Amino acid sequence: MNNRSDTLSKIQHSLTRRNRAEARFRWYGRCAIFIGLLAVAVLFFDIISKGHGAFRATYIKLDIHYDPELIGINNLADNEQLSAGNWQALSKTALRNKFPDVSGRQDKRRLSKLLSNGAGFDLKDHLLANPQLLGKKESVWVLADDDIDTYFKSWLDGDAYDARMTAKQVQWIAQLHQEDLIALKFNSNLFSRGDSREPEQAGIRGAVMGSFLTLIMTLMLSFPIGVSAAIYLEEFAPKNRWTDFIEVNINNLAAVPSIIFGLLGLAIFINFFHVPRSVPIVGGLVLTLMTLPTIIITSRAAIKSVPPSIREAALGMGASKYQMVLHHVLPLALPGMLTGAIIGMAQALGETAPLLMIGMVAFIVDIPNGFSDPATVLPVQIFLWADSPERAFIEKTSAAIMVLLSFLIIMNTSAVWLRKRLERRW
Amino acid sequence: MFKKVTTFSTVATVAVMLISPISFARESIEVVGSSTVYPFSTVVAERYGRSTGKPTPKIESTGSGGGMKLFCSGVGTNYPDITNSSRRIKLSEFKKCQTNGVKDIIEVQVGYDGIVVANSVDAATMNLTRKDIFLALAEKVPGTNDGELIDNPYSTWKQVNASLPDTAIEVLGPPPTSGTRDAFAELALEGGCKKIGWIAAIKKTDKNRYKAICHTVREDGRYIEAGENDNLIVQKLEANPSALGVFGFSFLDQNADKVQGAQIESIEPTFESIADKSYPISRPLYFYVKKAHVGVVPGMMGYLKEFTNERAWGEDGYLAEKGMIPLPTKMRMDMASKTMSLVPMTGKEALK
């Protein structure tokens, strides 16, 4: 009797303590999740608050007269005339007509600094697309300079940054603003152009194309090689010390810092095979080396998860081992392999270190159209912009980060979705 | 379906293997080298590409030393055509170029770059001398007797020089791999170091010891290596008004609302003071061209012409707007004509 009540009181006594321990443990878990979420929220808040401005750019509305004499051309089909034409004069003259009382060399120069130095070339492209405009007048929104853009945005926010502006320029902007001739518009350059040293003309199209070409190259090489390696190791290879040795090595490779693959790529592909520097081919080859272990490991796991009964049934029906693997095991393991491949690709999309050694960290303006055109990739573009002195590149950097993050989120969600959709449970 | 996929990828793999060993004839110019010259050569490249409609030169920022190494590796389209440098080519590099077949090298000096010592605008402006900088940042400084070196004992600027404020010495600057750091050591630290008579005398007897005394930066945490990213240094200075930072003039120029340059020997770092060389911490910028590639890689002459054009590197040119300090007019004209007539280096220049 006595004994029993003793035990009971012991249990009751310890019960509250154990319950408290459990409650505490739950709170630790909640705190951990909260800290993780807080970090993500702070990161997103910081990036979005810095970068949202980059999606809009400052434009100034001018009455452009496409005067053939002023440009110095008479035939729009003559390429030599076109490249020698004085295109900057179009926007400069329009601006001077807007402010006729500006005199003096210095002031005139400051006035023309309101506009982006690419404005003339934009007008040239516009004219070539609409040849009937030659000799006519038109109201055009012309891209403003990055200093003006920075000033105008900060001025609209009520905290004007005018360190790189003169008093006259500030006054001109105020006048334009009063007449509704200066405004923020959607920044299509950000998505349609390659890199530029002028922040207002810089875009991520080149880097996005470069990333795309490099990833296609990586996927084309690493997926078939990785899957074949996984199938052989799982289904055909004898289990002995050699295969153990290979397995250990593959696991080791997955943990090697990515810069090492860059050095390897430099030594093998560039110095030995003479693949040109900075092209998606060499980038894809290097990233293939990097993603192969990930793909092999996930593919092996996917093959392992196919139950042996499927194999035995196939063999029992008289299928050869090759038929068994190709017709039964592989289709069932494919969703898992694809998930692994997508995660490997997402990893490759975020890499800069291995690309540093093979010349893909470079200033490249032209948008790459093929695997052998010089190209750079999105994370490299972010790095290059973050390193630039021009103030306006700060918001561009954050905008490019947003684009990269959204690609990563899309890839990772599609991996989760694929797994949910196609995975079969046994 | 699976058969098709495997066949396709096998074909693709084989195709890639076949293409790769072939070296491509290049359409565009390849430029490597200094990260200090990078912001200027990229602007020129972009202008060249945009105004001519030809492929834009590709520019890699590898650092001056790394660029020279690539440049001097050989002649042919697998090697870069031009290398940028924030210092003159070294004798050893010139010799390496010669042994690897890069015989004719055209040297082009493009302008100057100023290195500034800056602090937050919230703090008072500093007025430093090069000697102050040396005493505050060197690993070993002269003791009480001539010829005696002691570990740097100074922890505040006031201890270095009584006219300076009583704030702790805390300087953020580039790491040893950076060209900016080399130039800072040579121009600021050595500039201050040789003001001390007995150390200057060592230069004649023991050059290595002189360099070790003058160029070695203290490692007790007062000089903080802040990486190659100058924007980061600006941000850190903004957050910490008592710290000083060392970086290129163009970053001061772009962030005038956040940081201010310290006066060096009472000269403020401005565009004008660097151009007329009264500001003491400035260095020349160069690029080097492989003559053998002119005419082989398309567009070389066009790029050189764009770079040496008055509208680019002139006093009112677009490079000046990006923060490069132009050469004096006469020198610029000579350099332009020398470059356009492709006069190579003779090997008799006084290289170090």
Burial (0-12, 13-18, 19+ Cβ within 10 Å), A296: buried
Q: Which structural domains are found in chain B, ordered by start? A: 24-112+284-340 (3.40.190.10), 114-282 (3.40.190.10)
Q: What is the pLDDT of residue B23?
A: 46
| Residue whose C-alpha is closest to residue A386's, from B46, B34, B228, B117 | B228
To the nearest 10 degrees (0 to 180), the angle between helices A205-231 and A280-304 is: 40
Interface of A with B in 227-256 (CB under 8 A): none
Nearest Cβ partner for B24 among A79, A163, A276? A276
Interchain contact, A359 vs B60, CB within 8 Å:
yes
Say whether A375 sits in a helix, a strand or coil: coil
Q: What is the pLDDT of residue B22?
A: 43
Interface of B with A in 76-105 (CB under 8 A): 77-78
Residues of chain B with pLDDT under 70: 1-25, 177, 228
- Dist CA B53 CA B50 (whole Å): 5
A389–chain B Cβ distance below 8 A for any pair: yes
Interchain contact, A366 vs B248, CB within 8 Å:
no
**CA B264 distance to own-chain centroid:** 20
Q: What is the pLDDT of residue B177?
A: 67
Interchain contact, A277 vs B30, CB within 8 Å:
yes
Helices (H), A85-134: 88-98, 105-112, 119-129
Q: Choose from A197, A356, A380 for mutation: most chain B CBs within 10 A.
A: A197
* Total number of residues shown for chain B: 352
Q: What is the pLDDT of residue A199?
A: 92
Q: What is the pLDDT of residue B228?
A: 67
CA distances from A348 to A211, A215, A282, A339 (A): 9, 7, 13, 14
B63: tokens are 């650092």
B177–chain A Cβ distance below 8 A for any pair: no
Helix (H), strand (E) at residue B171: strand B171-173
A419–chain B Cβ distance below 8 A for any pair: no
A212–chain B Cβ distance below 8 A for any pair: no
- Dist CA A109 CA A155 (whole Å): 23
Superfamily for A205-422? MetI-like (1.10.3720.10)
Q: State which residue of chain B sits closest to A282, comparing Cα positions.
A: B20
Interchain contact, B58 vs A362, CB within 8 Å:
yes
A330–chain B Cβ distance below 8 A for any pair: yes
Q: What is the pLDDT of residue B347?
A: 82
CA distance B46 to chain A (A): 7
CA distance B202 to chain A (A): 40
* Biggest CA-to-CA distance, chain A: 116
Interface of B with A in 6-45 (CB under 8 A): 6, 9-10, 12-13, 16, 19-24, 26, 28, 30, 35, 38-39, 42-43, 45
**So what's the ipTM on this one?**
0.79
B139–chain A Cβ distance below 8 A for any pair: no
The total of other beta-carbon atoms located within 10 Å of residue A132's CB is 8
Residue B9 corresponds to which amino acid? Answer: S
Nearest Cβ partner for A362 among B20, B59, B250? B59
Mean pLDDT by 10 residues, chain A (426 residues): 76 88 96 96 93 93 89 80 82 89 82 88 89 88 92 90 85 93 93 92 95 95 95 92 92 90 91 89 94 94 93 94 93 90 92 89 92 93 89 92 94 88 74
The domain locations on chain A are 56-186, 205-422
